[in-house]
Amino acid sequence: MRSILLLLLLGACAVVPPPPAPPLPYPPAARERMVRIALAEWADWGRVVMEPGLPGGSTGAESEPANFPRVLAYWRVVPQDEGAIAGNRRRYAAALAGLPEGEALWREPYWSAAFISFVLASAGVDRREFPPSAAHADYVDALIRDAAAFPAAAPFLPRLPRELPPQPGDLLCTDRSRNPIADWRQRAADGGRFRPMHCDIVTGTAPGVVEVVGGNVRDSVTLTRFPADAAGYLLPWPAGEPAWFVLFQNRLGRLPPWSPLS
Protein backbone atom coordinates (compact mmCIF):
# COMPACT_ATOMS: atom_id res chain seq x y z
CA MET A 1 0.00 0.00 0.00
CA ARG A 2 2.82 2.35 0.93
CA SER A 3 4.56 1.69 -2.40
CA ILE A 4 1.34 2.44 -4.28
CA LEU A 5 0.92 5.73 -2.43
CA LEU A 6 4.53 6.61 -3.20
CA LEU A 7 4.02 5.94 -6.90
CA LEU A 8 0.87 8.08 -6.91
CA LEU A 9 2.74 10.86 -5.16
CA LEU A 10 5.61 10.72 -7.63
CA GLY A 11 3.16 10.76 -10.51
CA ALA A 12 1.43 13.81 -9.12
CA CYS A 13 4.75 15.59 -8.79
CA ALA A 14 5.88 14.77 -12.34
CA VAL A 15 6.30 17.87 -14.43
CA VAL A 16 4.72 17.68 -17.86
CA PRO A 17 6.82 19.67 -20.31
CA PRO A 18 4.90 22.53 -21.90
CA PRO A 19 4.02 22.25 -25.58
CA PRO A 20 6.36 24.10 -27.93
CA ALA A 21 5.55 27.72 -28.57
CA PRO A 22 4.31 28.44 -32.07
CA PRO A 23 6.93 29.76 -34.48
CA LEU A 24 7.21 33.50 -34.98
CA PRO A 25 6.61 35.18 -38.35
CA TYR A 26 9.54 36.89 -40.08
CA PRO A 27 9.68 39.83 -42.48
CA PRO A 28 10.57 39.36 -46.16
CA ALA A 29 14.09 40.61 -45.37
CA ALA A 30 14.91 37.23 -43.74
CA ARG A 31 14.21 35.30 -46.92
CA GLU A 32 16.05 37.87 -49.03
CA ARG A 33 19.05 37.74 -46.68
CA MET A 34 19.13 33.94 -46.92
CA VAL A 35 19.58 34.11 -50.68
CA ARG A 36 21.99 37.02 -50.56
CA ILE A 37 24.22 35.37 -47.94
CA ALA A 38 24.26 32.03 -49.79
CA LEU A 39 25.32 33.77 -53.02
CA ALA A 40 27.94 35.84 -51.18
CA GLU A 41 29.48 32.68 -49.71
CA TRP A 42 29.48 31.10 -53.16
CA ALA A 43 31.31 34.15 -54.53
CA ASP A 44 33.88 33.97 -51.72
CA TRP A 45 34.67 30.39 -52.70
CA GLY A 46 35.35 31.31 -56.31
CA ARG A 47 31.92 30.90 -57.97
CA VAL A 48 32.23 27.17 -58.68
CA VAL A 49 29.36 25.95 -60.92
CA MET A 50 28.23 22.35 -61.38
CA GLU A 51 25.70 20.87 -63.77
CA PRO A 52 24.34 17.31 -63.40
CA GLY A 53 25.68 14.90 -65.95
CA LEU A 54 28.89 16.82 -66.53
CA PRO A 55 32.20 15.70 -65.01
CA GLY A 56 33.21 17.51 -61.87
CA GLY A 57 35.72 16.27 -59.34
CA SER A 58 36.90 17.86 -56.14
CA THR A 59 38.12 21.43 -56.24
CA GLY A 60 40.28 20.77 -53.18
CA ALA A 61 39.24 24.20 -51.95
CA GLU A 62 38.18 23.10 -48.46
CA SER A 63 41.74 22.04 -47.62
CA GLU A 64 43.37 25.29 -48.69
CA PRO A 65 44.54 27.07 -45.51
CA ALA A 66 43.10 30.36 -46.82
CA ASN A 67 39.61 28.84 -46.54
CA PHE A 68 40.04 27.67 -42.94
CA PRO A 69 38.07 30.57 -41.37
CA ARG A 70 35.19 30.13 -43.82
CA VAL A 71 34.35 26.57 -42.78
CA LEU A 72 35.15 27.40 -39.16
CA ALA A 73 32.43 30.08 -39.26
CA TYR A 74 29.91 27.47 -40.40
CA TRP A 75 30.77 25.06 -37.60
CA ARG A 76 30.65 27.78 -34.94
CA VAL A 77 26.88 28.04 -35.50
CA VAL A 78 26.30 24.34 -34.74
CA PRO A 79 25.79 23.41 -31.03
CA GLN A 80 27.32 19.93 -31.39
CA ASP A 81 30.19 20.01 -33.87
CA GLU A 82 31.22 16.33 -33.64
CA GLY A 83 34.78 17.39 -32.84
CA ALA A 84 35.08 19.25 -36.14
CA ILE A 85 36.58 22.41 -34.73
CA ALA A 86 39.17 20.81 -32.44
CA GLY A 87 40.25 18.29 -35.07
CA ASN A 88 40.54 20.82 -37.85
CA ARG A 89 42.34 23.42 -35.76
CA ARG A 90 45.00 20.73 -35.39
CA ARG A 91 44.98 20.03 -39.15
CA TYR A 92 45.20 23.74 -39.88
CA ALA A 93 48.29 24.09 -37.71
CA ALA A 94 49.78 21.10 -39.53
CA ALA A 95 48.97 22.65 -42.91
CA LEU A 96 50.73 25.88 -41.94
CA ALA A 97 53.75 23.83 -40.89
CA GLY A 98 53.74 21.88 -44.16
CA LEU A 99 52.95 18.57 -42.44
CA PRO A 100 50.99 15.77 -44.18
CA GLU A 101 48.10 15.91 -41.68
CA GLY A 102 47.25 19.35 -43.00
CA GLU A 103 46.28 17.91 -46.38
CA ALA A 104 43.06 16.58 -44.79
CA LEU A 105 41.89 20.00 -43.57
CA TRP A 106 38.06 20.09 -43.28
CA ARG A 107 37.60 16.77 -45.09
CA GLU A 108 35.72 15.39 -42.09
CA PRO A 109 33.17 15.54 -40.74
CA TYR A 110 31.09 16.75 -43.68
CA TRP A 111 30.08 20.38 -43.33
CA SER A 112 27.12 20.77 -45.71
CA ALA A 113 24.53 20.90 -42.89
CA ALA A 114 26.71 23.36 -40.97
CA PHE A 115 26.72 25.58 -44.06
CA ILE A 116 22.90 25.61 -44.27
CA SER A 117 22.74 26.31 -40.52
CA PHE A 118 25.16 29.22 -40.92
CA VAL A 119 23.13 30.81 -43.71
CA LEU A 120 19.85 30.60 -41.77
CA ALA A 121 21.42 31.93 -38.57
CA SER A 122 23.22 34.73 -40.41
CA ALA A 123 19.94 35.70 -42.07
CA GLY A 124 18.49 36.24 -38.59
CA VAL A 125 16.32 33.13 -38.32
CA ASP A 126 16.28 32.01 -34.68
CA ARG A 127 16.94 28.47 -33.44
CA ARG A 128 13.26 28.07 -32.60
CA GLU A 129 12.31 28.36 -36.26
CA PHE A 130 15.40 26.63 -37.67
CA PRO A 131 17.53 24.54 -35.27
CA PRO A 132 21.15 24.45 -36.50
CA SER A 133 22.71 21.01 -36.69
CA ALA A 134 25.66 19.04 -38.03
CA ALA A 135 23.15 16.65 -39.67
CA HIS A 136 20.56 17.63 -42.27
CA ALA A 137 18.21 14.98 -40.89
CA ASP A 138 17.92 16.87 -37.58
CA TYR A 139 16.58 20.10 -39.01
CA VAL A 140 14.55 18.26 -41.66
CA ASP A 141 12.72 16.44 -38.86
CA ALA A 142 12.24 19.70 -36.93
CA LEU A 143 10.74 21.48 -39.95
CA ILE A 144 8.39 18.57 -40.65
CA ARG A 145 7.24 18.52 -37.01
CA ASP A 146 6.64 22.27 -37.02
CA ALA A 147 4.59 22.06 -40.22
CA ALA A 148 2.43 19.31 -38.69
CA ALA A 149 1.91 21.11 -35.37
CA PHE A 150 1.56 24.65 -36.73
CA PRO A 151 0.45 24.44 -40.38
CA ALA A 152 -0.70 28.08 -40.42
CA ALA A 153 2.48 29.47 -38.86
CA ALA A 154 5.37 27.16 -39.82
CA PRO A 155 8.07 29.06 -41.73
CA PHE A 156 8.84 26.08 -43.97
CA LEU A 157 6.30 23.65 -45.43
CA PRO A 158 7.43 20.23 -46.73
CA ARG A 159 6.25 19.61 -50.27
CA LEU A 160 7.16 17.18 -53.02
CA PRO A 161 9.21 18.81 -55.78
CA ARG A 162 6.60 17.84 -58.35
CA GLU A 163 3.94 19.81 -56.46
CA LEU A 164 5.27 23.32 -57.13
CA PRO A 165 8.13 25.14 -58.87
CA PRO A 166 11.02 26.00 -56.52
CA GLN A 167 11.43 29.64 -55.54
CA PRO A 168 14.44 31.52 -54.10
CA GLY A 169 14.82 30.72 -50.41
CA ASP A 170 13.31 27.22 -50.63
CA LEU A 171 15.33 24.23 -49.42
CA LEU A 172 15.76 21.27 -51.75
CA CYS A 173 16.86 17.99 -50.14
CA THR A 174 18.02 14.56 -51.27
CA ASP A 175 18.45 11.33 -49.34
CA ARG A 176 21.84 9.74 -50.00
CA SER A 177 21.13 6.48 -48.16
CA ARG A 178 21.57 3.09 -49.80
CA ASN A 179 17.78 2.75 -49.75
CA PRO A 180 16.66 6.37 -50.08
CA ILE A 181 13.19 7.63 -49.28
CA ALA A 182 11.29 9.23 -52.16
CA ASP A 183 8.69 11.14 -50.15
CA TRP A 184 9.21 13.26 -47.03
CA ARG A 185 6.24 11.52 -45.39
CA GLN A 186 8.26 8.29 -45.34
CA ARG A 187 10.70 9.91 -42.91
CA ALA A 188 8.30 9.36 -39.99
CA ALA A 189 8.84 5.59 -40.28
CA ASP A 190 12.55 6.06 -39.43
CA GLY A 191 11.80 7.10 -35.86
CA GLY A 192 14.40 9.85 -36.10
CA ARG A 193 17.34 7.60 -37.00
CA PHE A 194 20.18 9.18 -38.95
CA ARG A 195 20.07 9.30 -42.72
CA PRO A 196 22.82 10.81 -44.88
CA MET A 197 21.06 13.72 -46.57
CA HIS A 198 22.02 16.85 -48.45
CA CYS A 199 20.10 20.11 -48.78
CA ASP A 200 20.70 23.14 -50.98
CA ILE A 201 19.24 26.64 -50.93
CA VAL A 202 17.36 27.71 -54.06
CA THR A 203 18.95 30.99 -55.13
CA GLY A 204 17.44 31.65 -58.54
CA THR A 205 15.28 30.44 -61.38
CA ALA A 206 15.31 31.07 -65.11
CA PRO A 207 13.54 29.47 -68.09
CA GLY A 208 14.49 25.79 -68.01
CA VAL A 209 16.76 25.95 -64.95
CA VAL A 210 16.72 26.07 -61.15
CA GLU A 211 19.89 27.28 -59.42
CA VAL A 212 20.82 26.14 -55.90
CA VAL A 213 23.77 26.80 -53.61
CA GLY A 214 25.09 24.20 -51.17
CA GLY A 215 28.13 23.57 -49.03
CA ASN A 216 30.63 20.72 -49.25
CA VAL A 217 29.71 20.20 -52.92
CA ARG A 218 32.94 19.43 -54.80
CA ASP A 219 34.60 20.35 -51.48
CA SER A 220 33.50 23.94 -51.89
CA VAL A 221 30.41 26.13 -51.72
CA THR A 222 29.01 25.42 -55.15
CA LEU A 223 26.15 26.61 -57.33
CA THR A 224 24.37 23.76 -59.12
CA ARG A 225 22.04 24.20 -62.07
CA PHE A 226 19.20 21.69 -62.35
CA PRO A 227 17.04 21.42 -65.47
CA ALA A 228 13.38 22.45 -65.20
CA ASP A 229 10.44 22.46 -67.55
CA ALA A 230 8.84 25.55 -69.07
CA ALA A 231 6.64 26.04 -65.99
CA GLY A 232 9.63 25.93 -63.61
CA TYR A 233 9.06 22.41 -62.22
CA LEU A 234 12.22 20.38 -61.67
CA LEU A 235 12.80 17.57 -64.14
CA PRO A 236 13.43 14.11 -62.63
CA TRP A 237 17.01 13.05 -62.07
CA PRO A 238 18.41 10.21 -64.19
CA ALA A 239 18.01 6.70 -62.78
CA GLY A 240 20.64 5.88 -60.18
CA GLU A 241 21.17 9.49 -59.11
CA PRO A 242 20.07 10.79 -55.68
CA ALA A 243 16.40 11.76 -55.86
CA TRP A 244 14.80 14.73 -54.14
CA PHE A 245 12.38 13.73 -51.42
CA VAL A 246 11.33 17.15 -50.16
CA LEU A 247 11.15 20.78 -51.18
CA PHE A 248 10.69 23.01 -48.15
CA GLN A 249 8.58 25.95 -49.26
CA ASN A 250 10.00 29.09 -47.65
CA ARG A 251 7.26 31.22 -46.07
CA LEU A 252 9.51 33.76 -44.36
CA GLY A 253 7.86 37.10 -45.08
CA ARG A 254 4.83 35.39 -46.60
CA LEU A 255 2.72 35.00 -43.45
CA PRO A 256 0.66 37.54 -41.49
CA PRO A 257 1.28 40.30 -40.60
CA TRP A 258 3.77 40.61 -43.44
CA SER A 259 1.58 39.06 -46.10
CA PRO A 260 -1.91 37.51 -46.26
CA LEU A 261 -1.87 33.78 -45.61
CA SER A 262 -2.05 31.86 -48.88
Residue 94 belongs to some domain of the structure: yes
Residue 76 belongs to some domain of the structure: yes
Residue 15 belongs to some domain of the structure: no
143 to each of 3, 52, 90, 235, 250, how far by Cα in Å? Answer: 43, 27, 35, 25, 11
Q: Cβ of 155: how many Cβ atoms within 10 Å?
A: 27
Residue 195 belongs to some domain of the structure: yes
Residue 262 belongs to some domain of the structure: no
pLDDT per residue rounded down to tens, the chain (262 residues): 555 544 444 444 455 667 778 999 999 999 999 999 999 999 999 999 998 766 678 999 999 999 999 999 999 999 999 899 999 999 999 999 999 999 999 999 999 999 999 999 999 999 999 999 999 999 999 999 999 999 999 999 999 999 999 999 999 999 998 889 999 999 988 888 899 999 999 999 999 999 999 999 999 999 999 999 999 999 987 777 778 999 999 999 999 999 865 4
Residue 156 belongs to some domain of the structure: yes
Domain span at residue 66?
26-250
Residue 143 belongs to some domain of the structure: yes
**Total domains, the chain:** 1
Residue 21 belongs to some domain of the structure: no
